[in-house]
Structure 1
């Protein structure tokens, strides 16, 4: 196992290499029994196929080159030995294997096309183009037999090439889907952080600015503002912890982030920041809604009131209405007040001009 891990062998490639070792033993034993030059050459060539088979999908280009080179040398030895029969080698599968691996894995598509055309051109020299007509009497095929076996070679090469193209396309499609999923996850996380933190950060910003101003004239107001900052920041921290916990547990149902349990808490919080909120909604409306729907209502409410606080002056009157019918909820937020200009926003401590992210 350590050797396989070091060489990064795939299980199927290891099996192919083991079969190659079995063939080595067979051809070496044949050469030992009949030590002719051709049989000895074939025994030596069989040794070279073992590492090439082991690495044909991990070291694609050198392994494919070795497979095709060894196969060409084997075919040459076979032709030299004719009309004597040295056997039809199983190594003929090396040609479609090389075409497949180069088409499937090689970064340069020209290598795949080159291997395909070279193998197609060399098909007439394949040992299968000879037929055995008697003991040690190999004859080159002719007529329909020749055309049939030539078409068979080309068909196998074409199937290997097209199947590799299909697999390569599938892999690229999966990679694109994976990248799109990653982008969607990042977008969802960004939206979640915005929904959870945007209004809390606005409250902290406003209250800290009020505390700075109040510290000069009204220490009690400054203490109250700092208390609000503490409470809101603790709430924001709890919500961030909820998001992180959900991200750390893939596959687990996302827990609802901690936060205001009722609309009344949200509305009262913004009233404390200077908005004159006139609220009209059933007090128990959220209690019978699904958790995700209730969370959406609270977040939309907080986002809408945050935008009023962000873009209009303190003292702005806000009409907040939430109603329900048999199939839907209707939420209306209307504000009446002078809009805050960019210049005044930039000049007001703690309220810099927006940057387009939905955060202060």
Structure 2
């Protein structure tokens, strides 16, 4: 039974008797009553006032009514988190009535300080100031003007200096509570900013993984689809050519599985370094061979430059996605990849002569979006669209010198 309710009896009594709140109720769990602190404050107020009364013989003797007022002011603090405004006014009114009846001074004022402190921290500034102002104004009125008509008999005026000292202490308590409120709001903003930054990083990581999976699977499955169609066509008439197509399918699927495993390994072990290096333009000959196996001849113009790892991966994926789109969406069996340097940028151009074989010439949706996201993440641009003389062109401009934070 102790484990079922999240702990033993000591855990329950921390917030009051087990029959007061239902264990396991999420609404109750979020707003439990502060039993321990309130019990301590109640004992401190009752005992402290009892001893303080011995040195205040001129005040009304502490009797049952006075102790009841002390108890009410203290017990109200149980609800200072749930109902901070009523508790602030309730304690202020109770303490003011206690002082009007002439009972001894003591730590009873601590109940008002705690209640108004809680109200201020919770954001109820006007209510807290009003409750403290009510208590101070009422006490000043009694101590300066009404003391002759109220108990105890023969009481004297407190003097303006004493009221100024009391007001100073009140302002000190309020200032401390305001400082606590500001710090609490600052901590809440910092927590919200950290949570938002964590969500943003998670979203960026999901987008990166989605781009990687799309680029790997779209390219490999396109090659497999072309080779499977070719193998089925030549299975009876040219078994050797069909065997070659099946060999290409095996190699393409093996490579795709390896890259997918690498991406999934990153998901299973967050923060772990990848076991294999990220692909780059050094694998361009391999990409050309895969395109050739799919029936596409690729002509390379210019040499791939040395790029930072992020730009190298982006350039490779852009070429891979562009050639995949040629295989899937173009009737042309010839493509040209051209590398050129323009200041501190790499101009990467992929052309095919068309015509388009469907409505999605040059590809659509995730492929082009992924290319643009890769380029934008590096501070580059992508321009993709039909050429005036037919065919399709992808032009990427990527910076060759990246900032350290990229």
- Fold conserved between structures, TM > 0.5: yes
Q: Which moved more, 1:172-181 or 1:267-276?
A: 172-181
* Offset at residue 337 of structure 1 (A): 0.8
Take 1:25 and 1:152, find their aligned partners in 2: how far apart are those partners? 22
| Aligned match of 1:192 | 209
- By how many angstroms is 1:81 displaced? 1.8
What's 1:48 paired with?
75
1:183-332 to 2 correspondences below 5 Å = 183-212=200-229, 214-218=231-235, 220=239, 224-253=244-273, 262-279=283-300, 291-292=309-310, 294-321=312-339, 330=346, 332=348
Alignment partner, residue 354 of structure 1: 364
**Cα distance in 1 between the residues matched to 2:83 and 2:267:** 43
Greater shift in the superposed pair: 86-95 or 267-276: 86-95
Q: Give the match for residue 97 of structure 1.
A: 117
Are 1:72 and 2:90 matched, yes or no?
A: no
Shift of 1:207: 3.0
User: How many angstroms apart in 2 are the aligned matches of 1:68 and 1:204?
Assistant: 72
Higher relative contact order (CA 8 A, sep 6+): 1
Distance 2:250 2:38 in 1: 68
Q: Distance in 1 between matches of 2:162 and 2:329?
A: 86
TM-score (norm 1): 0.68
Once the 2 structures are TM-superposed, how far is the Cα of residue 335 of structure 1 from its aligned partner?
1.7
Unaligned runs of 5+ in 1: 104-110
Distance 1:231 1:263 in 2: 16
C-alpha separation in 2, matches of 1:141 and 1:235? 91
Judged with a 3 Å threshold, the aligned counterparts in structure 2 of structure 1 residues 236 and 122 are, in CA distance, closer, same or farther, namely farther
C-alpha deviation, 1:248, in angstroms: 3.8
TM-score, scaled to structure 2:
0.61
Are the equivalent residues in 2 in contact too, given 1:68–1:98 (CA < 8 A)?
no
Q: Tell me if the contact between 2:332 and 2:352 (Cα under 8 Å) persists in the aligned partners.
A: no
SS in 1 for 2:101: helix
Structure ranking higher in helix proportion: 1
- What RMSD, in angstroms, separates the aligned Cα atoms of the two structures? 4.7
- In the alignment, the residues of structure 1 paired with residue 38 and residue 355 of structure 2 have an alpha-carbon distance, to the nearest angstrom, of 77
CA distance in 2, matches of 1:21, 1:39: 14
Q: What is the distance in 1 between the residues matched to 2:169 and 2:53? A: 34
Structure 2 residue 195 is matched with structure 1 residue 178:
yes
Q: CA deviation at 1:204?
A: 0.6
Aligned mates of 1:252, 1:129 — CA distance in 2: 72
SS of the residue 2:295 aligns to:
coil
Q: Deviations over 1:250-282 (max 9, x none)?
A: 444456566687322122112222322123566
Question: Within 5 Å, which residues of 2 pair with 1:33-182?
Answer: 36-45=63-72, 48=75, 51-52=78-79, 56=80, 60-62=81-83, 65-66=86-87, 68-81=89-102, 84-85=104-105, 89-103=109-123, 112-125=125-138, 137=155, 139-142=157-160, 146=163, 149-150=166-167, 153-154=170-171, 156-157=173-174, 160-161=177-178, 163-165=180-182, 167-168=184-185, 170-172=187-189, 174-182=191-199
1:26 and 2:47 correspond: yes
How far residue 243 of structure 1 moved from its aligned partner, in angstroms, is 2.7
Aligned residues: 331
Deviation for aligned residue 1:145: 5.1
Equivalent residue, structure 2, for 1:333: 349
Structure 2 unaligned regions, length at least 5: 1-9, 16-22, 55-60, 145-153, 371-406
